[in-house]
Amino acid sequence: MATGRNHRPATSRSRGIPEATVARLPLYLRALTALSERSVPTVSSEELAAAAGVNSAKLRKDFSYLGSYGTRGVGYDVEYLVYQISRELGLTQDWPVVIVGIGNLGAALANYGGFASRGFRVAALIDADPGLAGRPVAGISVQHTDELEKIISDNGVSIGVIATPAGAAQQVCDRLVAAGITSILNFAPTVLTVPDGVDVRKVDLSIELQILAFHEQRKAGEEPHGEHDEDTAPPAAPPAAAVAKRPRSKRPESGPDGDVPAVMPA
Ligand SMILES: NC(=O)c1ccc[n+]([C@@H]2O[C@H](COP(=O)([O-])OP(=O)(O)OC[C@H]3O[C@@H](n4cnc5c(N)ncnc54)[C@H](O)[C@@H]3O)[C@@H](O)[C@H]2O)c1
């Protein structure tokens, strides 16, 4: 048994693309999609890097893994890059997703239109509360957890989203995996244990806030007329979680140039 994907090599399985590059592809795609919607035909690496919030040398290196080098003096073909990145991310196919735990967060996720527009179809909403079964959320009828295995098999679902309380998350995860789910997006504040071959990504907004709090505190400590004397009074220690998650780069983790995106491996 392994926890999350921490033991995995830092490259994607298909073509040896570094995980840090994979993590930036959605940023490029978001910027390119905006250009495409404005019918912009080509874009320079500098313009695209600025729109994606990424260093342009890093962008060129990332695109070299895709075999995309652009044309000197013209730049990159926007539509072709949208296609190339979408294909690399596996977005040219439909991904049915189930959300388990349809409380405040699960309902908000179900109502989020951004999944469908990126190829993620919410196939089912599942909850353990019998009182919720049959209720429509985002136009989809909530189904009881008794049906979980059948729903996954009937819909060919490979991605599960967990939005249950932390105490229920591991048990839900185990059932999802046993039913054939191989990718999990976990919102519950707990570390999930999964077998090899299952990918877990964890989203924790409170950790992001703690990191911002750390940077706020550091900025305050850097003020020229700060109150403490570094020789005698070291600045207060950052919160433990922020220390544990301090990025290696100077930018906060959520910055696209960092190795770790806002959504973390479990
Ligand atoms: N990652 C983040 O940034 C973030 C933000 C907000 C909330 N959360 C977490 O998301 C989770 C949900 O939060 P919420 O505010 O929506 O809670 P909530 O209490 O409103 O909803 C939880 C839902 O899960 C259902 N549930 C409980 N046990 C279940 C089980 N075994 N199988 C299926 N469904 C089950 C409940 O019936 C309920 O409908 C919590 O773990 C919370 O800490 C994370």
Q: In the structure, what pLDDT confidence band is assigned to residue 244 with cuts at 50, 70 and 90? A: very low
Q: For atom 7 of ligand 1, which residue has the closest CA?
A: 105
Q: Report the C-alpha gap between 5 and 195 in whole angstroms.
A: 9
In this structure, are 59 and 144 located in the same domain?
A: no
For the whole prediction, is pTM greater than 0.80?
no
pLDDT interval class at 22 (50, 70, 90): very high
Where would I find the beta strands (DSSP E) of the chain?
Answer: 2-3, 42-43, 76-77, 95-100, 120-127, 136-137, 140-144, 159-162, 183-186, 193-194, 199-202, 264-265
CATH number at residue 193: 3.40.50.720
ipTM of the complex: 0.98
In the predicted model, is pLDDT for residue 27 greater than 90?
Answer: yes
| Residue 105 annotated in ligand binding | yes
In a domain, 4, yes or no: no
pLDDT of residue 151: 97
Task: Look at residue 121 and tell me if it is in a domain.
Answer: yes
The tokens describing 123, both together, are 């196939």
Report d(CA 164, CA 137) in Å as an integer: 16
Q: What angle do CA 195, 196, 197 make, to 5 degrees?
A: 110
95: β partners? 120
Q: Is 221 annotated as a binding residue?
A: no
116 and 196 in a common domain: yes
Q: Out of 88, 118, 141, pick the residue that ends a domain.
A: 88
Residue 11 lies in a domain: no
Same domain, 198 and 99: yes
Q: What are phi and psi of 18, to 5 degrees?
A: -60, 145
128 lines ligand 1 (CB under 6 A): yes
HEC string for 5-50: CCCCCCECCCCCCEHHHHHHHHHHHHHHHHHHHCCCCEECHHHHHH
Residue-wise pLDDT for 102-124, tens only, equals 999 999 999 998 888 788 999 99
Q: How confident is the model at residue 220 (pLDDT cuts 50, 70, 90)?
A: confident
**Domain ends where: 37, 64, 88?**
88
Q: Is the CB of 189 under 6 A from ligand 1?
A: yes
pLDDT of residue 239: 39
Tell me which DSSP letter residue 112 carries: -
Ligand 1 atom nearest to CA at 102: 39
End residue of a domain, out of 53, 70, 88 = 88
Supply the pLDDT for residue 247: 35
Tally the C-alpha atoms within 13 A of residue 129's C-alpha that lie toward its C-beta: 11
Residue 7 inside a domain? The answer is no
Q: What is the mean pLDDT of residues 125-148?
A: 97
Structure tokens at 55: 């260093």
Backbone angles phi, psi at 31, to 5 degrees: -65, -40
pLDDT (mean) for 56-78: 89
What is the rounded (10 degree) CA torsion for 78, 84, 87, 92? Answer: 30
Query: pLDDT band at residue 80, thresholds of 50, 70 and 90?
Result: very high
User: Is residue 36 domain-resident?
Assistant: yes
Q: Is the pLDDT of residue 236 over 70?
A: no
Distance, in Å, from the CA atom of 216 to the CA atom of 7, rounded to the nearest integer, reads 33
What pLDDT was estimated at residue 250?
36
**Domain check: are 104 and 79 in the same one?**
no
Does ligand 1 lie within 6 Å of residue 117's CB atom?
no
* pLDDT tens-place string over residues 150-198: 999 999 998 999 999 999 999 999 999 999 999 999 999 999 999 999 9
Residue 223: predicted pLDDT: 61
Q: What pLDDT does 175 receive?
A: 98
Q: Is 163 in the pocket of ligand 1 (CB under 6 A)?
A: yes
One domain for residues 193 and 138: yes
Mean pLDDT highest for which of 13-17, 30-34, 217-221? Answer: 30-34
Task: Look at residue 6 and tell me if it is in a domain.
Answer: no
Tell me if 12 is assigned to some domain. Answer: no
Say if residue 32's pLDDT is above 70. Answer: yes
The predicted structure's pLDDT at residue 73: 83
Tally of domains in the chain: 3
Question: Is beta strand 120-127 parallel, antiparallel or unpaired with respect to 95-100?
Answer: parallel
| pLDDT tens-digit map of 36-53 | 999 999 999 999 999 999
Nearest CA to ligand 1 atom 31: 168
Question: Which has more confidence, 175 or 252?
Answer: 175
- With respect to residue 114, please indicate whether it lies within any of the assigned structural domains: yes
The answer, yes or no, to whether any atom of ligand 1 lies below 6 A from the CB of 41, is no
> Distance, CA 107 to ligand 1 centroid (Å)?
10
Q: How would you list the strands of the sheet with 264-265, edge to edge?
A: 136-137, 140-144, 120-127, 95-100, 159-162, 183-186, 199-202, 264-265
- Lowest-confidence pick of 13-22, 68-77, 121-130: 13-22
- Write down the mean pLDDT value for the chain: 82
> By residue range, what is the domain housing residue 72?
19-88
Measured from the Cα of 165, ligand 1's closest atom is 41
Binding site membership of 188 for ligand 1 (Cβ less than 6 Å): yes
38 and 79 within one domain: yes
Residue 103 annotated as lining a ligand binding site: yes
Residue 172 Cβ inside 6 Å of ligand 1? The answer reads yes
Q: Are residues 179 and 218 in the same domain?
A: no
